[in-house]
Structure 1
Amino acid sequence: MQLDVQWFVSALLDNEMITLEEAVNLDNELGSNAPLQTYAQTLLERMAANMSEEDANNLVGMIQQVYDFAAEQAATGVVPDIFIQEVEPEPAPEPAPEPKRPKTVAKKIAAGKLPGSFSKDGIAATADVAGNGFPCFDIMTNLNDQQLGEMMKSLLLQLNDYGASDLHISANSRPFVRRNLNIERISDVLITPEYAERLNTVLLTEEQKKKFKEELEMNFALEFRKSRFRASLMHQKDGVSGSYRIVPEEIRTLEELGFLPKDVDTIKRLVDFPNGLLLVTGPIGSGKTTTLAALVDIANRKREDHIITVEDPIEILQESKKCQVTQRQVGIHTNSYSRALRASLREDPDIIIIGEMFDLETIENAITAAETGHLVIGTLHTCDAANTMNRLLDVFPPNQQSQIRAMTAGSLRGIICQRLVPSSDGNLTIAYEILVNNMAVASIIADGKTFQLKGTMQIGQKSGMCTLENTLLEKYKIGTITYETALANMADPIVIQLLNTEMAKREAQKLSAAAQARQH
């Protein structure tokens, strides 16, 4: 029986979770060289077979705690007392002092210091991140590279179930996650430069490690157990830093993302265009990737076309449905966005998806592709429609801007600007504005008067347009967000007045209801 399995059995016996006879029978069945994972998984399946779902979930947590405890103790090289007695019934004279080892894991379980992450199908389950922390950071100095890699995978899977969006591991810093836009520290352990580099590079191939060493930064995707993560590594003054974005496992619909029904209809009409330019914009972490995936899925279900996507890296996988979907990754399948876009034009595409439009060549090629009969959907890091148009045009030299304005005025189909805001239930919801190109918008763009776009959007509701403030007001009316959240994200004094009026109506209704209750 391997050392970690010995500690696992010893802890189970101490906590009266199994009998010695059951442990011996299972060991005989699996063989003396069975790894701890197999032993624990087999035992969990048998113990949970006839349990209710609630009891099974509780058992999962307990087994994981014992599992982590066993791995931690095995790293010390010390053999549990029960197995020392079996092999050496008589103590050797004047034994050398041994490291102190606990006889039971019960105290650690009671203290809640070992969060559960083991499950019946081998995938990490939800852990109490903020309350308990992650013991893996306490024992990482005892792990080899293979064990450290498994620890990173387990950690990412735990955070996926916890609902975090990002994991950050940096030299000379405590690890933290971002959840509902807030930062949460998940351990008090300060990551040394040595272990920051090991943790962030342990899942890389040798080729990737060489590339990271040469280029000092790297973007790549990770995939295991049907979960995907977007990773970004860089060198900084203290050492290596890594950021891991958790990619949604399923493509969500626009309704599920929080778009209002009337606006969903508008966006679907924009995706129906055979050509033109459609932009999804917003700051980093605003959900552009999931919105972009939803748009691709709409086209994939409705149209019979060839879709080519260019991403860095590929995040959400798209299976071909009615459309043929070809996904390319910068750095693996192509050297740059601009080169991929030029090459895509020779691959007979109908729809081209551009993960990021940030340089002159990429933007110029995108506008040209939109003018030559393709529907181009891309993203920009801008906060509203006016800023999006300025960003799109200002990358060009002054002598080209007049021509580009005319081209954009004719090819633009629409702009979706979005951000994430706290929802009433403690999660996040999307706030957005939609610009739809019509004669008035095209004239404003051609004349370079982008400051007039806001006013045009306010009166363009019949065309499907909406401003950020109007979306926030509607979401407040249906109870999706609070008054404070709506007010904090509004700048239009007219809509703020409407918000205050709506809030006053609610307060009056509450007072009226309370008065009627007292009368009865």
Structure 2
Amino acid sequence: MDIKTLNQILEIAFAKRVSDIHFEVDNPPFFRAHGQLLRSKLPPLSPADTEFIAARIMEQNKRDLPEDFKEFDASYALENSGRFRVSMFRQRGNIGIVMRVIPPEIGNFQDLKLPAVLSEIVKAPNGLVLVTGPTGNGKSTTLASMINHINEKYGYNIITIEDPIEFLFQSKKSCIIQREVGIDTEGFNPALKAALRMDPDVIMVGEMRDLETIDACIKASETGHLVFSTLHTQNATSTINRLIGHFPPDAQEIVRQRLADILVATISLRLVEDKSGENVLPVVEIMRSTTTIQACIREGNLDEIENHIEKGNAQYQMQSMDQHLIALCKKGIISMKEAKRVSNSMDLERKLNFT
């Protein structure tokens, strides 16, 4: 492996619009396209090949590859086009690498087939907006689209704290400061504390990973800032449970009250294939903070939230995952089989027949 070969592989992946490239010893590179992992016809990789790739990635990030490294997240950019989010790790003693393709341009809500109500959600003067879902289901892309919408429409100071930086923003109406954990700051928590001294209007935290970061995000929301972040949760109910569950039992009652006051919305995502199998599109649950939902959070009645989401469809443009799946099935965009694959409901077909 040499740098020319590596960049050629990445350029091909970028041109073919694959979502991920896998480099593992004793296998050729794998490409993920339309959700399927495809084995390339390239030669199998040796330990020296994956070590070379890892070293080049670290070099671009102005770091050496430690001998005792176990896992590391970074970014990588081609000279003329293409950025990648990189996960490096050891497996069976060798280095493995997965590179996620970052689209060159940040799509708007319409391009990404996201609900138009997101343009209303980002107008909130302060509070906490969470984008949730499993890995690889569009959280980062959705979050970038929301930040870019603000950037294009409003004159704010926006600070992002990411590990690593994925989408590169150009300041438009807003001023955008992007800080990368490990390069520009030691961690999310110290960066959040520093951000509050940087005259912010909007703060974007790439991921809420621990109690300190969650608490800092809540505090920033309480002090008049609009905070965006992500969680690996399935829906609004599991998101609220996850946040509260990070705190000690004797603090959870107070956290429920705080969350009820500052939570603006949760946007939960899953990607599905259309009937052609050639395209993927998002299925989105939207929960907005109404007085009824605030009461559910305060009183711990989280099992009632989905029902209130569905009832708030017309007035607040909220929607449950099942409502969106049913709408896509009715329009003939996705199959019932695909809808059932991502739905947590046991009676999705019955719901479809009754709507």
Question: TM-score scaled to structure 1, two decimals?
Answer: 0.65
Sort the Cα spacing of 1:493 and 1:240 in 2 relative to 1 into closer, same or farther, 3 A. closer
Q: Which residue pairs with 1:346 in the alignment? A: 197
Q: Which residue pairs with 1:4 in the alignment? A: none
- One of 167, 187, 194 as aligned partner of 2:21: 167
SS at match of 1:255: coil
Shift of 1:369: 0.4
- Alignment of 1:220 onto 2:74: yes
Shift of 1:270: 1.1
Matches within 5 A, 1:232-251: 232-251=87-106
One-letter amino acid of the counterpart of residue 490, structure 1: S
Shift of 1:458: 1.7
Shift of 1:217: 2.3
Shift of 1:388: 0.5
Q: Which residue pairs with 2:168 in the alignment? A: 317
Q: Is the 8 A contact 2:61 2:74 kept in 1?
A: no
Q: Which residue pairs with 1:288 in the alignment? A: 139
Indicate the structure (1 or 2) with the bigger Cα radius of gyration.
1
Q: Which residue pairs with 1:42 in the alignment? A: none
- One of 292, 295, 302 as aligned partner of 1:450: 302
Q: Is the 8 A contact 1:193 1:238 kept in 2?
A: no
Sort the Cα spacing of 1:357 and 1:203 in 2 relative to 1 into closer, same or farther, 3 A. closer
Question: TM-score scaled to structure 2, two decimals?
Answer: 0.94
One-letter amino acid of the counterpart of residue 36, structure 2: N
* Structure with more of its chain in strand, by fraction: 2
- Alignment of 1:436 onto 2:288: yes
One-letter amino acid of the counterpart of residue 183, structure 2: I
One-letter amino acid of the counterpart of residue 185, structure 2: T
- One of 421, 426, 440 as aligned partner of 2:272: 421
Percent of aligned positions that are identical? 34
Q: Is the 8 A contact 1:281 1:416 kept in 2?
A: yes
Q: Which residue pairs with 2:32 in the alignment? A: 178
Shift of 1:501: 6.7
SS at match of 1:407: helix
Q: Is the 8 A contact 1:490 1:496 kept in 2?
A: no
What's the Cα RMSD here?
1.8
Q: Is the 8 A contact 1:149 1:203 kept in 2?
A: no
Matches within 5 A, 1:17-36: none
- Write the deviation string for residues 57-100 of structure 1: whole angstroms up to 9, x where unpaired: xxxxxxxxxxxxxxxxxxxxxxxxxxxxxxxxxxxxxxxxxxxx
Structure 1 unaligned residues grouped into runs of 5+: 1-139, 141-147, 503-520
Q: Which residue pairs with 1:489 in the alignment? A: 342
Shift of 1:463: 1.7
Q: Which residue pairs with 1:23 in the alignment? A: none
Shift of 1:428: 0.6
Sort the Cα spacing of 1:216 and 1:492 in 2 relative to 1 into closer, same or farther, 3 A. closer
SS at match of 2:86: strand
Q: Is the 8 A contact 1:171 1:238 kept in 2?
A: no
SS at match of 2:333: coil
- Write the deviation string for residues 298-319 of structure 1: whole angstroms up to 9, x where unpaired: 1111111100001111111111
Structure 2 unaligned residues grouped into runs of 5+: none
Alignment: residue pair count: 352
Q: Is the 8 A contact 1:172 1:238 kept in 2?
A: no
One-letter amino acid of the counterpart of residue 199, structure 1: I
Q: Which residue pairs with 2:159 in the alignment? A: 308
Write the distance in 2 (CA, Å) between the matches of 1:270 and 1:466: 14
Q: Which residue pairs with 1:328 in the alignment? A: 179
Larger mean CA deviation between 293-302 and 212-221 belongs to 212-221
Q: Which residue pairs with 2:126 in the alignment? A: 275
- Alignment of 1:477 onto 2:330: yes
Write the distance in 1 (CA, Å) between the matches of 2:310 and 2:181: 39
- Write the deviation string for residues 137-172 of structure 1: whole angstroms up to 9, x where unpaired: xxx4xxxxxxx1111111111011112111111123
Shift of 1:377: 0.5
